[in-house]
Amino acid sequence: MEDIIKNLYFDEKMKQKDIANKLNISKAKVTRTIKMDSRYIEEKNSRKEITKIKHNKDIQKRVETKRKISQFNKNSDDLILKQMHNQASSELSGRKTLSNESYRKWNYSAYNYNPSKERFEFKENLGRSYDVPKYIKVKKY
């Protein structure tokens, strides 16, 4: 029985738990048996090193995945900003002057909608120059 346990552990490179399950014996018996062998310390250190290498590769893989996700998000944000810039450029370069409705869309935070009068009204506390529309009527289609 001891030779089988040693063979499975040292030659087949099976784990102690797997050996115990396969031979239907306790893990403690497997441990006691392999600890008596002179190759045990060397094998244990070898397995530790292999586990350490696997762990480092796993960490590296997780870091690379996280970095790729971050780059993808950054690229998609850049793409959205570029599309917004292109849209703004095309809207602003089309005419020499902006329509009141376009101006309101670009400065949506400066206007409040008044439903009773069906119009947008410029916020008085912001201070308005003469060329900024005070009221913008909503077009009904």
**CA 10 from centroid of its chain's CA atoms:** 42
Three-state secondary structure of the chain = CHHHHHHHHHHCCCCHHHHHHHHCCCHHHHHHHHHCCCCHHHHHHHHHHHHHHHHHHHHHHHHHHHHHHHHHHHHHHHHHHHHHHHHHHHHHHHCCCCCHHHHHHHCHHHEEEECCCCEEEECHHHCCCCCCCCEEECCCC
Q: Residue 34: what pLDDT?
A: 92
Residue 96: per-residue pLDDT: 62
How far apart CA 83 and CA 77 sit, in angstroms, is 10
pLDDT at 98: 66
Relative to beta strand 135-137, strand 111-114 is: unpaired
CA atoms lying within 13 Å on the CB side of residue 25: 15
Residue pLDDT, tens place only, 58-107: 999 999 999 988 888 888 888 888 888 888 777 767 656 667 777 777 77
Query: Who's near 123: CB < 8 A, 6+ residues apart?
Result: 110, 111, 112
More confident residue, 100 or 113: 113
pLDDT of residue 4: 92
Q: Tell me the C-alpha distance between 17 and 23, whole Å.
A: 10
pLDDT tens for each residue of 1-51: 888 999 899 899 999 999 999 999 999 999 999 999 899 999 999 999 999
